[in-house]
Amino acid sequence: MRVPTSERALAYVILIALAALVLIPVLFGSITAFKPQIIWVSSPPTWIFEPTLENFEFVFIQRKGWQYLRNSLIISSGSVIIALLLGVPAAYAFARFRFRGSKALMQWLISLRMIPPIVVGLPFYAMFLFLERGLNIGLRDTYPGLIITYQTFLLPLVIWMMRGYFVELPAAMEESAMVEGYTRLGALLRVVLPVVWPGIVATAILNFIFAWNEFFLALILSGNRTSTLPMSAGTYIVRTRVEWGNLFAVNLIIMVPVIVLTIILRRQLVKGLTFGILE
């Protein structure tokens, strides 16, 4: 696609302005993580100071931030992988097969995401307690317990997003592959998935972010063994004040893994293998 220079210049101006709108508050906040307590907040803002790592030390060591980080990493990646394994085939079926009730089922699926989290907390807690006491299956305050419950909001989303990407593709693609001797599953794995790869990556990233920032279910169903990062962020909004330096130190710990993930996957995100309209 050839883009006129004026159009390109305009695109740059708008995008850079937006980037500034993102970067200014984020940087302004993030440098606080390196400020000593007395200048966390000041008027006028303090720009020049001697950076300190005491906030990170407090958050990471005294408040066991690394434990929260480990829990968050395990729970988020675990639940995203499970959601993709279960959700992608289902999404494919919804996109490719017309069967009675398929539309109703899809609509019903997205409505599942609408359940306010407060409604989910107590039933799950009660179920876990029942499983533990009645059947001796311990899920409270465990990784599998949280990974399963996270499917409530991840699985519908995976199915919905992936279905959107599958539907975009012409059905002729797998049909010709199947003529060449692939099974339906083989066609899905070898022919279709490589093409919708950017969609899978986008789905994975977004679901990771949702799992990463999930808060209410984690609060109710985790304990000191499985508490996640967002829960620890809340502890720096204390009654007396917001502990800005500690809060932004935690926030950096929350942001950096997702950003790293995005960097690793950035090529995949826009790599429309055979059909991309741009490259």
Give one DSSP letter per residue of the chain, joined into a string. ----HHHHHHHHHHHHHHHHHHHHHHHHHHGGGGS-GGGSS-SSPP-------HHHHIIIIIT-HHHHHHHHHHHHHHHHHHHHHHHHHHHHHHHH---TTHHHHHHHHHHHTTS-HHHHHHHHHHHHHHHHHHH----TTSHHHHHHHHHHHHHHHHHHHHHHHHHHS-THHHHHHHHTT--HHHHIIIIIHHHTHHHHHHHHHHHHHHHHH--HHHHHH--TTT--HHHHHHTTB-SS-B-HHHHHHHHHHHHHHHHHHHHHHHHHHH--TTT-S--
**Pick 60 or 160: Cβ nearer another protein:** 160
Question: Which amino acid is located at 231 in the chain?
Answer: M
199 binds another protein (CB under 8 A): yes
Cβ neighbours of residue 163 closer than 8 Å, sequence gap 6 or more: 91, 92, 94, 95, 106
Residue 155 CB-density burial (10 A; 0-12 exposed, 13-18 middle, 19+ buried): buried
Site string for another protein, 65-84 (x = CB under 8 A): --------------------
Site string for another protein, 245-264 (x = CB under 8 A): --xx-xx--xx--xx--xx-
Among 57, 61, 241, 264, which residue interacts with another protein (rule: CB under 8 A)? 241
Minimum Å gap between C-beta 16 and another protein is: 8
Among 69, 80, 146, 159, which residue interacts with another protein (rule: CB under 8 A)? 159
Q: Which of residues 102-121 bind another protein (CB under 8 A)?
A: 102-103, 106-107, 109-121
Among 59, 75, 202, 211, which residue interacts with another protein (rule: CB under 8 A)? 202
**Pick 74 or 206: Cβ nearer another protein:** 206
Among 53, 129, 175, 190, which residue interacts with another protein (rule: CB under 8 A)? 129
Q: Which of residues 169-198 bind another protein (CB under 8 A)?
A: 169-171, 178, 181, 183-185, 195-196, 198
213 binds another protein (CB under 8 A): yes
Among 81, 127, 131, 137, which residue interacts with another protein (rule: CB under 8 A)? 127
139 binds another protein (CB under 8 A): no
Q: Which of residues 28-47 bind another protein (CB under 8 A)?
A: 28-29, 36-38, 41-45
**Pick 19 or 61: Cβ nearer another protein:** 19
**Pick 74 or 260: Cβ nearer another protein:** 260
53 binds another protein (CB under 8 A): no
